[in-house]
Structure 1
Amino acid sequence: MKNWKALILILILVLSATFAGCGKETAENPEESVPSVEKLTLLNTKIEVASQMDELAAKYEQETGIKIEIINVDPSADKQATLKGYYLSDQMPDIIACEASSFANWDGLLVDLSDQNWASRTDAAYKDATYGTVGFPYTTEAIGLAYNAEILSACGVDPASITNPESMKAAFEAIDAKKDELGIKAVLGYSSEPENLGWSAGNHVFGTYLDSGLDRADTTYIDLLNDGGKFDDQRLAAFADMIELFNQYSDPDLLVTGSYDDQVLGFASGKYAFVTQGSWIGAILVGNDASAYQAAGSFKVGMVPYAFQSGMETILTSAPSWWAIPKEGQVEAAKAFLQWCSEDTAQQILVEKAGFISPFKDCKYVASDPFAAVISEYLAAGKTSSWHWMDMPESLGQNGFSFAFNKFANGELDKDGFIKELKNIATQWYSKL
């Protein structure tokens, strides 16, 4: 009788150990059979394509039976703080989104994806010297001074002529002179609002100081900045002249306190000739703001460089962020999803529906996004610079420099004061690192 009880106890222990072992998936043993997965979670920081991401998730569930829960993060939120909150509460998504400066937050915690099929089909993966390929690229985006081609044409402004500060100013003046006649509200839709839109001026617009006109591998000005917060005085003064021009010709209702939605809707509605947002707003023009864009004639768009000095012929292009897989999640299932995202079905949705510019060499789809052709032309001409603002210390642009832009816009600072404020913010920020 005792022997039977012993055997039963042993059997229970063996079965318990077996079931416990089947319940956990690890990155260290990828060759083991993958347990069944019902749901994966993905952090989406591209809120402007939330509906398209839902469509992507639905298609994957239809093909595999695995549900993809999309966690959308508002563009005004501190994305890494949000992610750290998930991590600390032990609710880390299976797939996260990181900008270049954010990967350092997760050193050693992300899966090396170097051996994945998709990694050999793109040059845009995020690679870490220590941890390998840790970032999956899902799009290429561009930062340039976006414009409404029909307004420029009506004002006799050739966008190809905007190659230096003088021609930019002349274009603004020509459009401003016909503003009432054309029924537009302002020459430019630019906002310095720092609390919710600080990433725009603090990262993207400031990023043009770091990279406009440079070869992609040229790190002159980001290296100078990262050396304790230093600037090139001549270049910074020319940049400040451009921002002063923006302050003068932007929609006053948008300049100091405006929102991202107001800014993009104003451009989509044909109220502005130019807007200081990048190619990502194309998805909104044909998405959430489609009715306004259609009512404005579905005008042709373009981009000119932020030419605050002569000879600047480049727009800034990069993968804006990457998807990565935390080691503690459902690793093999997450890998399978990313591989699927690089292939035909998902690429069609991401390119044709979300308007993404595919980073994969074998993608056969072309985005209907209004800015897709613009980016392709600059890429083909080799007239692109990199996004070295992503190599600034985390939050320096969004929570630091953005406030200098706002003070300059609201009149609290003049041009010289703006330059001094940028320098002070940088010096103090780097002193605390």
Structure 2
Amino acid sequence: MKKKLMSVLLAGSMVLSLAACGETAADTTTSSDNAEAQTETQTETQSADTTETAAATSEVAGTQEAVRLLNGKPEINDQMQALAAKYLEETGNVLTVETIGGDTNASDELKKMYQADNMPDIFVIEANQAANWDGMLADLSGEEWTNKTGFELVDSTMGTIGFPYTVEATALGYNADILAKAGIDPSTLTSPDAWKAACETLDSKKDELGITAVFGWCAEPTNLGWSSGTHVFGQYLDAGLKADDTTYIDLLNDGGKIDEARMKNFAEFIGMMNQYSDPALLVDGTYDNQVAGFKEGKYVFITQGNWCITSPADVNFECGFAPYAFEDGINTIIAGPPSYWVAYSNGNVEGAKAFFNWCAGDSAQNILVNDAGLVSPFDDCQYEAVNPFYKSMNSYITAGNYSGWHTMLKKDGLQNETCNVFADYAKGKLDADGFVSTMAQVISAYYAQ
């Protein structure tokens, strides 16, 4: 990625939480954001009791002590094991990859590890969790890899603390082939009126196009609250803003305030999504239902990010992103690292630093991009992501039409409250005005705790 995203400067204290990014639902077949996003909510996909390790028994003598990395993305466990094997082959250093998930909550697992004095050397956090680890993360300033990216996580007191292992984007993913058949140019979807017209056209041609619904949107809060409460809600915070514009996240973090006019416009857009979604998916669906329906061409749009389709073999159509244009002129997607690898200050810091420098290099990037389907955050990476959304995603980023992942800076746990408001709206318990007033009440109450 050639464009630089302003490093995040964290200020103020956050509520204590040891939740680490990478939590996912208990389905090992789900893709990256199922794994990434549920980092903010409840569950993960593989149990720490069934942790896999790589290269730990090799006889190659390395220059560093073994490094333990806690992986919270179980869907790339095999690729992470391959990464560890390649690291051993090229450097003689041992990287032990431990993958957690299943019924194990990442925050609970890290608490247990911390209490047992068994912390990994490298683990994953979101930007808003940095304050929870104040004094326990190594400063990575000045490392070689920091000269090759603008996506590192910088804390105002702790320094450079986060290594960006991928860049992700979220907006309304679309099936370009269906839009073309319907005569809709996705580049024109930059206003509420344009969206309304497109939805009406697509809905009127459902039989002709062979689709079930315009949107594959699921507001079920128990398993998909991470999606509505974080990523969809994040569009209210950032859609249409430049990457360094923190207007609405600052307002949110100032005691839980919202811009009611903007929230009303957002609510009306979500109401349109509710209207043109598959009713069964909207209220009671799962992540797997949502992604499978999009892959099968049942839905024209999906409320996920590039993590939901990682391989060209997964679909037989062109994928792209369209903005949540709930106000005239919104033409951005959210892009950047939603989470980071960090080094535990009381662990093998030198080993972690050595791994990070190697990981930013060619061999590691080849595995992470070409095999794991990630998007590289490093300027000199020669590999273009195979992800079907990459072409569209990169076009926004190179044009500067991307907003920051400021949803990751909200008070930790807020998504568990806001997701229920989306669910009630989807069920018809709230109208647009009720959505706004309930959001205001729920958010204010949560910040008051």
State the TM bucket, normalised to the shorter chain. 0.7 to 0.9
Give yes or no for contact 1:101–1:392 (8 Å, CA) kept in 2: yes
Give the AA of the match of 2:448: S
Q: Is the 8 A contact 1:101 1:394 kept in 2?
A: yes
Deviation at 1:71, TM superposition (A): 3.1
| C-alpha spacing 1:214/1:78, structure 2 compared with 1 (3 Å) | farther
Shift of 1:76: 9.4
How many residues in Structure 1 have an aligned counterpart in Structure 2? 389
The 10-residue stretch of structure 1 (98-107 or 368-377) with the greater mean CA deviation from structure 2: 368-377
Distance 1:148 1:405, change over 3 A: same
**What residue in structure 2 maps to residue 159 of structure 1?**
186
Q: Aligned residue for 2:318?
A: 300
**2:387 corresponds to:** 369
C-alpha distance 309-236 of structure 1, shift in aligned 2 (>3 A): same
Q: Which residue of 1 aligns with 2:219?
A: 192
**What's the offset of the Cα at 1:36?**
5.6
Aligned: 1:223 with 2:241 = no
Displacement after TM superposition at 1:347 (Å) = 0.8
Residue in structure 2 matched with residue 400 of structure 1 by the alignment: 417
Matched, 1:426 2:436: no
* Deviation of the 1:416 alpha carbon: 2.0
Query: Structure 1 residue 327: deviation in Å?
Result: 1.6
Which region of structure 1 is more displaced relative to structure 2, 329-338 or 358-367?
A: 329-338
Aligned-pair distance for 1:250? 1.5
- The C-alpha deviation readout for 1:17-46, integer Å capped at 9, x for no partner, is xxxxxxxxxxxxxxxxx9863x43222233
Return the index of the structure with the highest Cα Rg: 1
Q: What residue in structure 1 maps to residue 427 of structure 2?
A: 410
Q: Spell out the pairing of 1:136-151 with structure 2 (5 A cutoff).
A: 136-151=163-178
- What is the Cα deviation at residue 377 of structure 1? 0.8
Deviations 1:287-341 (A, max 9, x none): xxx4xx35xxx21011111100001011111111110010222222222111111
Could you tell me which amino acid in structure 2 is paired with residue 371 of structure 1? F
1:279 matched to 2:296? The reply is no
The separation in 1 between residues aligned to 2:397 and 2:114, in whole angstroms, is: 38
Distance in structure 2 (CA, Å) of the matches to 1:239 and 1:325: 38
Distance 1:239 1:349, change over 3 A: same
- Which amino acid is 2:270 matched to? I
Residue of structure 2 in register with 1:20 after alignment: none
> What 5-or-longer segments of structure 1 have no aligned partner?
1-33
Shift of 1:66: 4.4
Shift of 1:65: 4.6
Q: Take 2:78 and 2:275, find their aligned partners in 1: how far apart are those partners?
A: 36
Give the corresponding residue for 1:126. 153
Q: 1:55 to 1:107 in 2, by over 3 A?
A: same
- Alpha-carbon distance in 2 for matches of 1:425, 1:57: 44
Letter of the 1:159 counterpart: P
The letter for the 1-side match of 2:358 is: W
Displacement after TM superposition at 1:55 (Å): 2.3
Q: Secondary structure at 1:400's aligned position in 2?
A: helix
Amino acid at match of 1:221: Y
- Structure 1 length normalisation: TM-score? 0.85
AA matched with 1:246: M
Q: How does 1:209-288 map to 2 (within 5 A)?
A: 209-283=236-310, 285-286=311-312
Give the structure 2 partner of residue 385 of structure 1: 403
Q: 1:97 aligns with which of 108, 120, 124?
A: 124
> Which residue does the alignment assign to 2:358?
340
Gaps of 5+ in 2: 1-61
* Whole-angstrom CA distance in 2 between matches of 1:75 and 1:176: 38
Specify which of 59, 73, 86 is matched with residue 46 of structure 1.
Answer: 73
Q: Does 1:135 align with 2:135?
A: no
Alignment deviations for residues 203-225 of structure 1 (CA, whole Å, 9 cap, x no partner)? 11111101111122221111111
Question: Do the aligned partners of 1:407 and 1:413 also contact (CA within 8 Å) in 2?
Answer: yes
Please tell me whether the aligned partners of residues 63 and 92 of structure 2 are also in contact (alpha carbons under 8 angstroms).
no
> What is the CA-CA distance between 1:81 and the residue it aligns to?
4.0
Measure the CA separation in 2 of the matches of 1:120 and 1:334.
Answer: 17
CA shift at 1:419, angstroms? 1.4
Aligned equivalents of 1:86 and 1:148: distance in 2? 43
Corresponding residue for residue 21 of structure 1: none
Q: What is the CA–CA distance in structure 1 between the aligned matches of 2:170 and 2:101, rounded to whole Å?
A: 20
Aligned-partner Cα distance in 1 for 2:135–2:124:
16
CA-CA distance at 1:51 after TM superposition: 3.0
Q: Which residue of 2 aligns with 1:357?
A: 375
Kindly provide the amino acid, as one letter, of the partner of residue 323 in structure 1.
Answer: W
Which residue identity does 1:402 align to in structure 2?
Answer: C
SS at match of 1:137: coil
Q: Is the 8 A contact 1:45 1:75 kept in 2?
A: no
* Deviation, structure 1 residue 113: 0.7
Contact 1:76 1:195 in 2 (8 A): no
* Aligned residue type for 2:321: M
Q: Normalising to structure 2: TM-score of the pair?
A: 0.82
* 1:326-382 deviation line (CA, Å, top 9, x unaligned): 022222222211111100100111122222221111111111111111121111111
Task: Find the partner of 1:309 among 327, 330, 346.
Answer: 327
